[in-house]
Amino acid sequence: MSVSDILLPNLRELTLPARDFARGVKHALGHSRRLAPVRDALPEPLRGFAREVASEIEGLAGVAREGVALLQRYTAARFGLAEIVVCPEPALRFAEAARYGLEAAVARMGRDDLMASATVAAIAYRTSASLGEPGERLPRAAARLAVALVQHHAVGPAPGTTLGLGVDETQTAMLAGFAVMLWMTIERDAAREDEAGLLVVCIDLTLSLAGEITAAWMDPDRLATLMAHYADVV
């Protein structure tokens, strides 16, 4: 497969890569105990630059607060997959929702060393959407998207790559992906949902179903059945 064969978001419209870079630098520099030897080995001009970048993007430390503000600012329809797939820019809207959800999920799982990339999530969406069929039921699309998020490494120590990905990280990414897609699959009512609370319910339910989800991961029909059933349950 050549680069031209890959369905990429329109990078002129996608404002996420620079944001991801900034968040990545901030996130990485924050784990000083692990990265201090590498950072200290940099020549002083580069070391100073790293410190300046970290200072400039200090506001990104409030990603969770940004997420809460995002949830409060928009109606529930912004996060429902049924609405996302028919909006003018579905990949961009999906990417923002997925990034917030994935980071909330891994944080609740106690893995604050992992981060999520909205850019990679957008690419996963575009790639997955190309595999859909006309009239496809939402839970099947959601299950495929969950797998796509993991296959593209949308969440990990270095999103978009396999760096630092072991069995535990992959397992966490799988559960986070399922939880987020379950959250997006649930039918919203006309009133504003408690999206943050709904997401927590989906994460906790997913953790209780870890064995079932892992066993069904490579079976699209089985995974879609789980997604449909528990979306109705929630």
Model confidence over 138-153: pLDDT tens digits? 999 999 999 999 999 9
- Residue 26 phi, psi dihedral angles, 5° rounding: -60, -45
**Contact call for residues 186 and 202 (beta carbons, < 8 A):** yes
Burial class of residue 71 in the structure, from the number of CB atoms within 10 Å of its CB (0-12 exposed, 13-18 middle, 19+ buried):
buried
Cβ neighbors of 101 (< 8 A, separation 6 or more) are: 176, 179, 180, 183, 184, 199
Q: What is the pTM of this model?
A: 0.71
pLDDT for 196: 83
pLDDT for 165: 85
- How far from 160 is each of 21, 35, 116, 194, CA to CA, in Å? 12, 19, 9, 31
Q: How far apart are CA 158 and CA 186, in angstroms?
A: 29
pLDDT for 188: 76
Among residues 200, 105, 198, 118, the alpha carbon closest in space to that of 159 is found at 118
pLDDT for 183: 94
pLDDT for 20: 53
Whole-number CA gyration radius for the chain: 18
pLDDT for 195: 81
Q: pLDDT tens string for the chain (234 positions)?
A: 443 344 444 444 444 444 454 455 555 555 444 445 544 555 555 555 555 555 544 444 454 445 545 544 444 446 789 888 888 888 988 998 999 999 999 999 999 889 999 999 999 999 988 777 767 899 999 999 999 999 999 999 988 888 888 999 999 999 999 999 999 999 876 555 578 888 999 999 999 999 999 999 999 999 999 999 999 888
pLDDT for 66: 54
Question: Tokens standing for 92?
Answer: 């961009």
- How far from 100 is each of 62, 89, 104, 133, 214, CA to CA, in Å? 12, 17, 6, 27, 23
Strands 155-156 and 115-116: antiparallel
